[in-house]
A and B are shown apart, each in its own frame.
Chain A
Amino acid sequence: MSGGLDVAVLTAWLGRVAVRYAAEQGYLCDLDAAIGDGDHGANLARGFTAVVAKLGQPASPAALFKSVGMTLIGTVGGASGPLYGTLFIDMGKAAGESTTLDAASWAKVLAAGLAGVAARGKAQPGDKTMIDALTPAVQALQGETDLTAALTASAAAAVHGAEATKKLIAHKGRASYLGERAIGHQDPGATSLAMLLQGLASEAG
């Protein structure tokens, strides 16, 4: 993929992610039922279906990210809506005027999204949240100039980060009330975040 991330590629990515969340919603709900309230997969499937329906033809990656973010905060609900919404809205602010994102600009954009989510959720790495998948994904992009290699490494790091949440005690959200009973369960938000970045690697990697 030499052309970089433009509106067409990003639109195709979101379509792919919507299909994946619809297919995996039972799995994500089961992960959530173990340590939360069991609606994560259904909420994300509903949100990304709406994202695809409302997207239209945005003029730039920045406009696309903002549209996705606003749709997600209005349709997902719970904690995931504002967190995923903030991710995309802050990515949009960082995308600026670019029509096509290369590896370096994508690294900057995703880092801005991470900063927004961390500030919104007041979460840090190790709290057993989506931050635990997003942080290594951002780190894996640093210094990588080839977009394909960057997206592949970033997705793999996110998946690894999500799996590593199994051994963590949750410090945020409803799972935090479980204490040590949360150990052994993979965080649903980290898992869905990894799926999001796997989708981008598949689409543009």
Chain B
Amino acid sequence: MKKFINAADRVVEDSLAGMAAAHHDLIKVHYEPNFITRAGGPVKGKVAIVSGGGSGHEPMHGGFVGRGMLHAACPGAVFTSPTPDQMLAATKAVDGGTGVLHIVKNYTGDILNFEMAADLAKEENIHVNAVVTDDDVAVQDSLYTAGRRGVGGTVLAEKICGAAAEAGADLETVTALCRKVNASVRSIGVALSACTVPHAGKPSFTLEDDEIEFGIGIHGEPGRRRAKHASADELAAMMMEPILTDLPFTKGDHALLFVNGMGGTPLIELYVLFRKAHAIAAQHGVTISRSLVGSYITSLEMAGASISLLRLDDSMTKYWDAPVVTPALRWGA
């Protein structure tokens, strides 16, 4: 294992300290329990949005804390859910008196910990709503499993809902918008190589030179199936097919196309994928009116990519375009 780390059990804290130093104008890092808030205090009279999850997915979620997006993020250990004491402290720190929305990716640990935190916050008279994101079409059978995983669509939900909260929407409106974004987005991921969790010290799975893992989540867990490696155009087609048919997207839709790197794939390759995914959408009659390309929800150093497609309406488009000032996303301000 060759990594820029000092010790496996210090990775999260050392990285948080680096973030705090790099972005002191935007964010404030709190320790024991660990959470990140905006540099300013709570915004009176505006809904606050808190998210969180295991570390190892940077810039998600800490990199999305700032004006127009999240109010706080709770980083757990690498690929391990944060704990309720973190979420409770973050929720209390950012509550502006009009309620807090928790955006939770659908993983059993994340859900249980956020539920406990919401129960504890309610005991302190903070109104908390929660929305669980589950946009991963790789998981087909959600009746007998923990259900579809929350992946790339989460980034889009956090941006759009953050803008709505900034514009003064109330808790029920922001909550409903978050559910709508989640219901309108579909994603799938492909790995070209595995990743190594620092405290595990070895890769979570191994892929031969000519193999890919199709339908991966974001924790180095195996995907829907193993397949032969193919050209970028063929892989983009493999990925777009289940996305387009699942929602389903139909002729005349306007959509946001998000091509995301898993941490070890360069932007040049993400644009190669975007080119084909964009063309396939066009063939399907779907107009790509907004886009995002880059590594925003990652799995450590995994080489791979995910594609998310979000069907837009006027309100989502307006909030997507609204100003955002965070370490990882910044425009319009």
Contact = CB atoms under 8 A, between A and B. Distances in A.
Interface SS of chain B: loop
A155 B141 CA distance: 35
Contacts of B83: 73-77, 81
Contacts of B66: none
Interface in B68-93: 76-77, 79-85
Contacts of B219: 37
Contacts of A43: 80
Nearest to A42: B199
Interface in A62-115: 73-79, 81-83, 85-86
A173 B80 CA distance: 13
A171 B141 CA distance: 11
A77 B85 contact: no
A16 B200 CA distance: 27
Contact of B115 (A82, A169, A172, A173): A82
Contacts of A77: 76-77, 80-83, 109, 113
B145 interface: yes
Contacts of A179: 141, 145
B146 A172 contact: yes
Interface in A146-205: 169, 171-174, 176-177, 179
Given A37-B219, A74-B83, A82-B84, A177 B113 contact: no
A176 B146 contact: yes
Contacts of B109: 77-79, 81-82
Contacts of A176: 144-146
12 contacts: A73-B113, A74-B85, A77-B83, A81-B81, A81-B84, A82-B115, A86-B116, A171-B145, A174-B221, A176-B144, A177-B146, A177-B221
